[in-house]
Each structure stands twice: as C-alpha cells, then as structure tokens.
Amino acid sequence: MCGLFIDIFGALLIAFPDVPDLANKREMGALRSARDKMNNGSLDPRDSGFDEVKAILENSTPVETANEKPNPDYVKITKTSRSGLAAKESHESDVNLGDEYIEGHYQPAGHFAYSDFFRVSPVYEKIRERIENDETKVRSGGFMLLSIGFILQIFGTAM
C-alpha cells in the first residue's frame, strides 16, 4: 500500500510543472510570468520573476550600455525596439534601428533616463534554459518516486 502512495505522489510531481498555480511557487513559474509580462509591457521589481530576469541580465553582455548608472540596480525591464534620434546618433553602439531588445532601465537622473540594451534571443534562451532545468529537477524527482513506488509494490506482492 505504501508503494501506491509513493506512486501517486511521484505522478503528482511529474505533473507539477504543468499546473500554473503550483509552478508559480518555483523559479519556472516566476520566469514564465516575467517573460509574459515583458512581452505585454514591462517588468517591475514587485513583479514575480523580476529578480531572476535581473540576475540573467547582470550576467549577460549588453549590446549598448548606459554611460552613467545613477543607481546600480534596474528599476524596470522592458522588451522594446530602438528608434529615434538617440539611437541614430550612437556611433559606438551595435544597436540596429527597429530590432527588438530587452532594456534594463536605471532610476532616471533628472531629465535623463539611462538603460542597458540586450539582444532578445540570448536573454530568452537563458530564461528558457532555467525554466527547463527547474522542470527537469521536479520531473526527475517524480520519476524517481514513481520507480521506488513500483519496486515497493512488486516486493509487496511477491511477499
């Protein structure tokens, strides 16, 4: 009987990443939520997943970095396209007009807003990798419990 309960718990762990209310309690859910928020607007420090995305950006190389950083932390993260006069005049930048970028905003200093720009695909790739790693950990634990439960059931019926 114990093996059956372990099987049930293992099966629940395997399904865990597919249940949004449960997945949101782990990094995978926070990163999914953050990615969705960036696609639909901006990500603020109070949003789920902000710290995880901020850590990814801090470990990534921006294509354009702010000249001054009035505050060492990002206060908002958005998915945006670069356009306008500032982008045209930036001769040291690898930013292409019209391409999409992840923009890490610093606290504005007076009339100036400072930002770092990151290519979307490498940032989203890192987000995807972290989601998949977290899912794999949870599902692996579920498969392990499922296996242990089956073994206990086999020994239970053999005795």
Q: Tens of pLDDT along 129-142?
A: 999 999 999 999 99
Mean pLDDT of 73-94: 65
For residue range 98-117, list pLDDT tens digits in order.
578 898 888 776 666 788 88
Mean pLDDT of 78-107: 66
Counting residues of the chain whose pLDDT is more than 90, the rounded percentage is 46
φ, ψ at 124 (rounded to 5°): -65, -30
- pLDDT of 90 over the 70 cut: no
Contact 101, 121 (CB under 8 A): no
Task: Label residue 87 by pLDDT band (50, 70, 90).
Answer: very low
